[in-house]
Amino acid sequence: MTIELTNFLTNLKSNISQKILDGSNINEIANTYNLKIRYFKNVEKFHQNNQEDSFKDEIIRQGFTSNIDFVSDLIDYGDQKSFILNVDNVYPSKPKEYEIIYEKVINDWLLNKKKDFIDNDFSNNLENQNYLEKLSSIYFEKIQIKEIDKNHSELPISLITQIFEKKQNEKILHFEKEQVYITKITNIIMPNDTKDNQKKISLSSNLKNAFGSEIIKSKKISTNDSLINALLSQY
């Protein structure tokens, strides 16, 4: 079934690429192969990334590298998704009025200054094992103790990735938009994987067989013909 599905997708992508070369428009291709068309209107080049729809982010990013009114080549996104683009129009950027963006600029500047302060303070306390307790006391924030795995959903994915790359007692500073996370790994729990134990037993068996084969290679083995003849004469 997997092979058949792989062959189907390979043929589908090949046929779509040929349609593009033949000059078919995006509607014709969609109708021929029953594909879905997504419309994105008035999107900005430097739009805010959306973790919940990274596929959309990639489509928009690719859109700003494509030519207007041309169907793009087939673009793969991971192992299970592909897409083609047809950019209708690109509007030239216009400077925004200072009065409109003044508040946002000030807020961004203040946020960056706060991040710089936090980053410097964190760097100066890398060896301080009581750093989290110190922050908790200064800012009246309670330390949260969480047991997480790689499928944990309460924390940002990028932070989870960093956590599983660190060692015990290492600290992590992570910024997520306007949120800041300072974490310390207090314990690493290794799972009891029964499959691994089975693999170890299987490996031991393989080693025994290999050891026995090596003995046969290195030792001369002879038979006791007299004993064999005596046994055979009884039947």
Does residue 161 share a domain with residue 111? yes
Name the DSSP letter for residue 71. Answer: B
Average pLDDT, the chain: 78
**Beta strand extents in 105-196 (DSSP E only):** 171-176, 179-184
Mean local confidence (pLDDT), 92-114: 84
Residue 119 sits in the same domain as residue 68: no
Q: What distance in Å separates the CA atoms of residue 28 and residue 24, rounded to the nearest whole number?
A: 6
Bridge partner list, 68: 87
Amino acid letter, residue 90: V
Work out how many domains the chain is built from and give that number: 2
For residue 197, tell me if it sits in a domain.
Answer: no
> Which of 184, 203, 228 is the last residue in one of the domains?
184
pLDDT over threshold 70, residue 220: no
Which pLDDT does position 124 carry in this prediction? 92
Structural domain includes residue 213: no
**Alpha-carbon span 170 to 183, nearest angstrom:** 8
Residue range(s) defining the domain that contains residue 144: 98-184
Q: What is the 3-state secondary structure (H, E, C) of 2-64?
A: HHHHHHHHHHHHHHHHHHHHCCCCHHHHHHHHCCCCCCCCCCCCCCCCCHHHHHHHHHHHHHC
128/170 same-domain check: yes
Query: 223 lies in a domain?
Result: no
Q: How confident is the model at residue 201 (pLDDT cuts 50, 70, 90)?
A: very low
Report if residue 38 sits inside a domain: yes
Residue 42 and residue 69 in one domain: yes
Q: Which residue has the tokens 């021929």?
A: 32
180 and 113 in a single domain? The answer is yes
Mean pLDDT of 94-98: 78
Rounded to an integer, what distance in angstroms lies between the CA atom of residue 84 and that of residue 72?
Answer: 6
What percent of the chain lies above the pLDDT cut of 70?
75
139 and 103 share one domain: yes
Which token pair is 116? 């710089």
Q: Is the pTM of this model over 0.75?
A: no
Domain boundary among 161, 184, 207: 184
- What 3-state DSSP class applies to 235? coil
Last residue of a domain, one of 184, 200, 220: 184
| Residue 70 and residue 105 share a domain | no
